[in-house]
Amino acid sequence: MGGVGVALVLAVSACGGPGQTAEPSEPVDSSTATSEEPASVLAGVDPCQLLTDGEARELGLEAPGQRRDISKTLSCRFRVAGDGPGQLAVSASPDRALDELNFSGGDVQDTEVAGKKAKIVRGATADICTVAIAVSPTESVSADGNIGGDVEAGCRLAEQAAPLVLANLSK
């Protein structure tokens, strides 16, 4: 066989015969494969839109809420309607996972909200009760109830608001 014939035989044998698939000669490094980062769940979110005016009123809150961001946390505060003391803060943390939130000094209880991993935190910040929810591996939202020093009343408000906030996030 001439040089061309040998090269053709080698090329055909490397590809396998009929019905056979060729195997790569070197292992494929999956770490170099390109993968797109998942889109941010909280990209472009206005925390004041995570609770509708109607929902806020049903919870006994004034609507609309007032936007008040703190550092990289997007936040909206809804005051308790009438003369009662208190508020509900709805916050979105686009750069902090649930497990990265600081709840030191509070009573932390693991829970779920609408099938999502969550935490109820009593008293990490004064008399506030927080329901924080993981919305992605790197992002979280929370509802913080503060009702005039009554932690349990704050928890009731936060627990009522949390599933509404989560439902509005997906709209």
- Kindly report, residue by residue over 29-57, the tens digit of the pLDDT: 444 444 455 678 888 899 999 999 999 99
pLDDT of the residue at 40: 87
Confidence of residue 72 (pLDDT cuts 50, 70, 90): confident
pTM of the model: 0.76
pLDDT of the residue at 33: 44
- Write down the mean pLDDT value for the chain: 82
CATH code: domain 47-169 is 3.40.1000
Sequence-ordered list of residues with C-beta below 8 angstroms from that of 22, at least 6 positions apart, any chain: 14, 15, 16
Average pLDDT over residues 130-141: 96
Percent of the chain whose pLDDT exceeds 90: 61
Residue located via tokens 């627990």: 159
C-alpha–C-alpha distance, residues 105 and 126, integer Å: 10
Domain ranges of the chain: 47-169
Report whether pLDDT(123) > 90: no
pLDDT of the residue at 70: 86
C-alpha–C-alpha distance, residues 149 and 153, integer Å: 9
C-alpha–C-alpha distance, residues 83 and 108, integer Å: 31
Q: Which residue would you say has higher pLDDT here, 15 or 164?
A: 164
C-alpha–C-alpha distance, residues 92 and 72, integer Å: 9
C-alpha–C-alpha distance, residues 153 and 142, integer Å: 16
pLDDT of the residue at 64: 95
136 token code pair: 């992605």
Sequence-ordered list of residues with C-beta below 8 angstroms from that of 89, at least 6 positions apart, any chain: 68, 75, 76, 77, 78, 142, 143, 144, 146
